[in-house]
Structure 1
Amino acid sequence: MDPALLTTPLVSPTDALKKTAPVTPERAQQLRDMPAGDYWLSVASELTWDVPPTTALEGTFGDFQYFPGAKGNVSVNCLDRHPKNRVALYYEREDGLKETWSYGDLTDATARFAAALQDLGVDKGDRVAIYLSNVPEAFIAIHACYRIGAIYSVIFAGFSASAVRDRLTDAQPKVVVCTDGTLRRGRNIPLKATLDEALEGLEKPTVIVARRLDPFLPLGENELDFAELLEKTTRRAAPVSLDANDPGFIIYTSGTTSKPKGLVHSGIGFLTGTYANVKWALNLQPDDVYWCTADVGWLTFPIFALVGGLAHGATHVIYEGSIDTPTPERPYQIIERYRADKVFTAPTALRMLRRSGDEALARYDLSPLQLVALVGEPLDPETWHWTHDVLGGGRLFVNNTYGQTETGTAWASSMVGLTEGRPGSCGHPLPGYRAAVVHEDGTPCGPNELGSLTLTEPFPCLARTVWGDHDRYVETYLSEFPGKYAAADAALLDSDGQLWVTGRLDDVMNVAGHRLGTMEMEAALLTHPAVSEAAVVAMPDDIKGAVPVAFVVPRAGIRLDTDLTWLENELADAVVSGVGAIARPGRVVVTPTVPRTRSGKIMRRLLRDLLLTGEVKGDLTSLENPDALETVRERLGGAAAG
């Protein structure tokens, strides 16, 4: 990275944000210096408990408990304790449909849906799959699970039937909640039909369908209508008192093998972490109108809206569809319509707005906007400056944050209203988190020295295990640097303690803020009968941050001296079918050979070098077939778009 970025001036929060800061700057520094356990107990004291915690941490990485013996309920903290007449949700859909839900409405619907789940035989520890887009039913269904102690699993609405099937097979849900479809750039994405395909040949769970696009969609055996079920259920389930370490949900993240990992988060541990995260990263107040643009299928939305956001009692804007439809000005329209003062989004969305031009800004009243916070992918300084100077007219505070699905929070951030940030950095480790950047041998890196990012102490919202495979959890996160959690990201801490994350150390890429595993995409390519080998690498993209590029070695019989556009298109479609539209390759390169080690492993870093610069660098001693480099270079010159 450019060393000049590390010494750019720190930017202070605006006066408006300073006035509403939850503590003084002196207290903020005390919290950062406080032992982690004491800090988390102080956070817990701001929540509602049946049995308050008296002990912070027992155990260590791989086998730990936070707040042992304490009991409470997530839904009580996010719904019941807030004023019933306050607006909880302003919902808007791509086609203009709008709904308003108060905290009273949401609490009542959640309690009745929780009772309906109980009537269907769902008990504490049973799994419920949530295959929904950004709709009020997602809030109801998820908090109903929290209310009765069921373990929910959110499945991204953009996944293919194959990807949905993998997640259902692993979690074995008793109930699946879905919508009939969702809108995306004017198209009806048929979620129910995709679910039907995913369930073929499996033992079918009860399916509850929210018919939002087609009220007359036929329902089959063991299928129920969401609205009808809610209407006929008059009983309201009481919140179950749950142990602080009981599992709350499973969320799947792509890894370096083709099987996604089902990360298990404790319900109340996640609540505690996200409550604190939102407090510091957004300075969210009860009178704020706040829009998190993320999709419910990615953990950003549960952290910053479903759980962490609602725990603060603010009014949330939720939007279903593509935020650039029917025009790239749609985000400005939403901010103006609801007078949103805080927005949480991804750098991709800001780059999209920037690309559409600045003329539209003058047509909308964006004066209420105080804060834009970001997560999901690296933030380039150019986009930071455009957001601060052009979108915000110099009055916005831009808070770039960093976290992972595994950590359950964006644990690196400015403390909004209290601490400074640097354009392009991720702020600093928040109170309660202990980070270290280390060399390959585990020794600490110095200031401004790039290394591997680790966390050195457990915290309440850290994922506890991989569903059904704790050995995989230990091997993936705790084996590389014993006694530390390995983030698998390259990073550095500058001389002011600001964190800079430069990218992944493994073969997982961020596409428009969504973390995708190359092995899942490669597995999809290998389903095509013309493919014998496949490798996927990331190519930087101005809008999405990164896009996949596939290198494919064909089976015998495929002539490489002919037009292969048909095959390249079919292979791109195979990735979409196997993983989802978000994973469509930017290019498919059909090549007779690829560089490989003596053991036959494809050397993806060399493919990445050839793609980006046309040259290779680094150690080539393990390269078995040097002639493959020139072959791939030639194929890149003639490759067509996927």
Structure 2
Amino acid sequence: MNAKIPFDWTPTPELKQDSVLSAFLRRVGESSYESLCARADADPAWLMEEVFAFCDFRFYRPYTRMLDTSRGQPWSQWCVGGTTNIVLNCIDRHRGTDAWERPFLVWEGENPDEQRTLTYREFDAEVCRLAHALSELGLGRGDVVGLYMPNLPETYIAFFAVLKIGAILMPLFSGFGPQPLIARLKDGGARAVITADGTWRRGNAAPLKAVLDEALAATPAVAHVLVVRRMGDRLTTPMQAGRDHWWHERMASQPAQRATEEMDASAPAILLYTSGTTGRPKGCVWTHVSFLGSMVTRDMHICCDFRSGDRYFFLSDMGWMVGAMCACIPSYFGGSLLLAEGTPDYPDSGRFWRLVQNHRVTYLGVAPTLIRGLMRYGEEEVERYDLSSLRLLSSGGEAWTDAPWRWFFRHAGKGRLPILNIAGGTEVGGCNLVTTVHHPQRPSSFSGPALGVGLAIVDESGRPVPEGTVGELVLRHANIGMTRGLWQDDARYLESYWNVIPGVWVHGDFVRRDADGLYYILGRSDDTIKVSGKRTGPTEIENLLTATGAVSEVAVIGVPDPVKGAVIVCVCVCVPMPGVDASDAALAQRLSQAIVDGMGASYRPADVVFVDELPKTRNLKVMRRVVRAVYAGGNLGDLSALVNPHAVEDLRRRLGKPALPAPARASAR
């Protein structure tokens, strides 16, 4: 990107001066984020000492050593000898403070007349009651407990109750069908599952317990199922004697106080699965210090300015890492959380913005896909609502393209609020790249690397690439958020991340740094498109297509060309905007020409295909590898994370492709 191109947003001196980041810089005696990054990369242990002191991280027994790398970087140990608990830092810390009687969780059902508010005191009492109920079932330290729940207050009560008794939480996407559940419950060795009878989705009663029952027929190790009664008589919910228990019955007589288990700082706390390109899902292990030390304190508080007075809203399922973010970020700092059941555009297209308005959200998180979907309803839908409560905007989950970034900036942020873009993943338990209120912004940009992660951009051989060149994002050393191996599969952990380019962690993202020091993610490196000998990520080309205003979403892929051999051809899968006729051949030509005008004639796509939906994961990332597999033929890989598996079949039909053998799919509901 040319350095002379103006920035879309520039921080004011007052905003920078009053930021959390400035307070941290003053504490450690650094003059800029860049100098802080250099010092943190040189001494990650020093960084975390300062982060924990600045954020008042609580331990039962202090650690004797912050970082032990004696077994090598992949097996780094943090806070050696220390004991703590996520619940100690996120709930217990507020007992006896002003926050105790303030709202923590505000919930709205799909029907807006259904609302609940729980103060920290009330929430803690429910956590303690559930902790007692789980202990009565014989659950405790080291037991894996699945959480297969929609967005209900009980979901977050269960999150903390499982951790409070020292058990290991396994979040599960509420849209999963039986086969993805079987794979995770078996691999994780779950002893219990907490679920609901069902939930509301677009006015329909969607079952959960019935789906879980199908999975449990193949997972006999699950001894107990605790069921929240959300739907009542609207769903038939068979209960198996001895195994199944109603939440309200088990909670009825439980005391409202219970001590939190003192856990080794490096003890597993959360087992969260992320899908591999092929093979079974990978179980990422977060400890009682890892997620709080990375995403919660280092990234979202110090870098992204989350504060105690903020109300956080990021519409997401508990099965994605954003679920844990929603639980831990506001609770650690004494803020509040808005939780909403259902979808952003039902019962009407303005629901998402009405939630922000009515509940006075200050810190709004989104996935770019959500904004692309809401753009279809027009800017008028946003302008109807008072969004003046917003203080900061945040985004994550996938790379932006310019058009939706600017739409969100202009209409939600009114051209004055920065979009704090973050990128990392389940495997690192936090961010690789962050955006701060100290740095100017352009669409989809990041300010720089997260603190202490040792980020570099390299070629296939591990050599640093010149400024402006697309390369592989790597981390030169371990950081506190990284998964503690992969669950029961040390060899796969090394093979997937540490042995791709020996000596560094390869995350799988294509990244570029511009002349102003801003960073851009250009897609997954396994989505590489190579045209005329030049590698590029799909985002650069997708930007050109969404900029036409004719399509709201695009997946650009590369496929082998039968005539030119090794030459890769661009193929666009587009979702037209309302009022645009996808059957019009002129539209395909217009999109093709947009690529040629922006990239050159060698990038002219071989095909432009229109579909109603793109295949997406539960965290709303477009699955380009699946699009490529359908188009070119080949192994579809692991589809268990798809939120809309019907989109794969739709694409196959439109292309006239034969059915391909596929592994387990997510539920289509």
Cα distance in 2 for partners of 1:61, 1:445 equals 23
Q: Letter of the aligned partner of 1:43 in structure 2?
A: V
| Alpha-carbon distance in structure 1 between the residues aligned to 2:280 and 2:7 | 44
Of the three residues 288, 309, 332, the one matched with 2:353 is 332
Partner SS state of residue 473, structure 2: strand
CA distance in 2, matches of 1:15, 1:218: 61
Shift of 1:260: 0.9
Contact 1:553 1:592 in 2 (8 A): no
1:272-291 matched pairs, under 5 angstroms: 272-276=293-297, 277-291=299-313
Partner amino acid for 2:320?
Answer: W
- One-letter amino acid of the structure 2 residue matched with residue 87 of structure 1: P
Give 2:45's aligned amino acid. Answer: G
Aligned residues: 550
**Distance in 2 (alpha carbons) for counterparts of 1:105 and 1:255:** 40
Residue 20 of structure 1: how far off its partner (Å): 4.5
Q: Which residue of 2 aligns with 1:255?
A: 276
Distance 1:582 1:364, change over 3 A: farther
Deviation at 1:33, TM superposition (A): 3.3
Offset, 1:146: 1.5
Task: Summarize the Cα distance change of 1:50–1:439 in structure 2 as closer, same or farther, 3 Å threshold.
Answer: same
Q: Aligned letter for 2:61?
A: V
Indicate yes or no: 2:448 matched with 1:428: yes
- Confirm whether residue 470 of structure 1 aligns to residue 490 of structure 2: yes
Aligned pair partner of 1:58 in 60, 65, 68:
68
Match of 1:131 in 2: 148
Code of the aligned partner of 1:584: A
Question: Does 1:584 find its partner at 2:589?
Answer: no
Whether the aligned pair in 2 keeps the contact of 1:262 and 1:467 (CA below 8 Å) is yes
| TM-aligned CA deviation for residue 496 of structure 1 | 3.1
User: C-alpha offsets along residues 417-440 of structure 1, whole Å, 9 cap, x if unaligned?
Assistant: x33333221331122221011111
**Does residue 230 of structure 2 align to residue 166 of structure 1?**
no
Alignment CA distance shift 1:540-1:65 (3 Å): farther
User: How many angstroms does 1:151 deviate by?
Assistant: 0.8
1:275/1:312 contact within 8 Å kept: no
Letter paired with 1:481: I
Trace 1:111-190 onto structure 2 (pairs within 5 A): 111-190=128-207
Instruction: State how far apart, in whole Å, the 2-side matches of 1:294 and 1:592 are.
Output: 34
**AA matched with 1:315:** S
- Residue 130 of structure 2 aligns with an amino acid whose one-letter code is F
1:46-445 map, 5 Å: 46-59=56-69, 60-82=72-94, 83-96=99-112, 97-203=114-220, 204-214=222-232, 217-221=237-241, 222-234=243-255, 236-276=257-297, 277-302=299-324, 304-416=325-437, 418-445=438-465
Partner of 2:622 in structure 1?
546
1:161-213 deviations in Å (ceiling 9; x for gaps): 11111111111211100011122222222110100011113314200000111
AA aligned to 2:117 is T
Q: What is the identity, as a one-letter code, of the residue corresponding to 1:432?
A: G
- 8 A contact 2:198–2:230 mirrored in 1: yes
Q: Residues of 2 paired with 1:593 and 1:212: CA distance?
A: 38
> How many Å separate the matches in 1 of 2:293 and 2:426?
16
CA contact (8 A) 1:415 1:430 kept: no
Deviations 1:355-405 (A, max 9, x none): 211122332111111221100111112222212223322222112211111
Which of 449-458 and 578-587 deviates more?
Answer: 578-587
How much does 1:275 deviate?
2.1
Map of 1:596-635 to 2, 5 A cutoff? Answer: none
Work out whether residues 385 and 423 of structure 1, in 8 Å CA contact, stay in contact via their aligned partners in 2: yes
CA distance in 1, matches of 2:264, 2:407: 46
Amino acid at match of 1:496: D
Aligned partner of 1:86: which letter? Answer: R
Q: 1:55 and 1:31, CA in 2 relative to 1: closer, same or farther beyond 3 A?
A: farther
Q: Give me the whole-angstrom Cα distance separating, in 1, the residues matched to 2:572 and 2:435.
A: 29
Equivalent residue, structure 2, for 1:611 = none
Q: TM-score, normalised by structure 1?
A: 0.80
Per the TM alignment, residue 15 of structure 1 is displaced from its structure 2 partner at its CA by 7.0
Are the aligned partners of 2:423 and 2:432 in contact in 1 as well (CA < 8 Å)? yes
Q: Give the Å deviation of 1:553.
A: 10
**For residue 50 of structure 2, what is the aligned residue in structure 1?**
42
Cα deviation for residue 306 of structure 1 reads 1.1
Give, as a single letter, the amino acid of the residue that structure 2 aligns with 1:51.
R
Identity across the alignment (%): 30
Shift in Å at residue 284 of structure 1?
A: 1.7
The alpha carbon displacement at 1:10 in A equals 6.5
Determine the C-alpha separation between the residues in 1 that align with 2:444 and 2:254: 50
CA distance in 1, matches of 2:335, 2:13: 21
Question: TM-score, length-normalised on structure 2?
Answer: 0.77
Shift of 1:224: 0.7
Secondary structure of the residue aligned to 1:122 is coil
Whole-angstrom CA distance in 1 between matches of 2:279 and 2:219: 20
Distance in 1 of aligned mates of 2:501 and 2:300: 29
Q: CA deviation at 1:147?
A: 1.2
In structure 2, what is the equivalent of residue 461 of structure 1? Answer: 481
| Paired letter, 1:48 | R
Output the amino acid matched with 1:211. Answer: R
Which deviates more from structure 2 when the two are superposed, residues 324-333 or residues 230-239?
Answer: 230-239
Distance 1:578 1:36, change over 3 A: closer
C-alpha RMSD over aligned residues: 3.1
C-alpha distance in 2, partners of 1:101/1:301?
Answer: 18
SS at match of 1:182: strand
- 1:137 Cα shift? 1.3
- Whether 1:9 and 2:7 are equivalent positions in the alignment is yes
Q: Is the 8 A contact 2:185 2:219 kept in 1?
A: no
Deviation at 1:66, TM superposition (A): 0.9
Report the alpha carbon displacement of residue 333 of structure 1 after superposing the two structures with TM.
0.7
Q: CA 1:538 to 1:182, structure 2 compared with 1: closer, same or farther past 3 Å?
A: farther
In structure 1, the residue corresponding to 2:337 is in which secondary structure?
Answer: strand
Structure 2 residue identity aligned to 1:461:
G
Q: 1:504 aligns with which of 510, 520, 524?
A: 524
Would you say the 8 A contact 1:17–1:370 is kept in 2? no
Q: Shift of residue 580 of structure 1?
A: 4.8
Q: Per-residue deviation at 1:54?
A: 4.6
Displacement after TM superposition at 1:538 (Å): 9.0
CA contact (8 A) 1:342 1:370 kept: yes
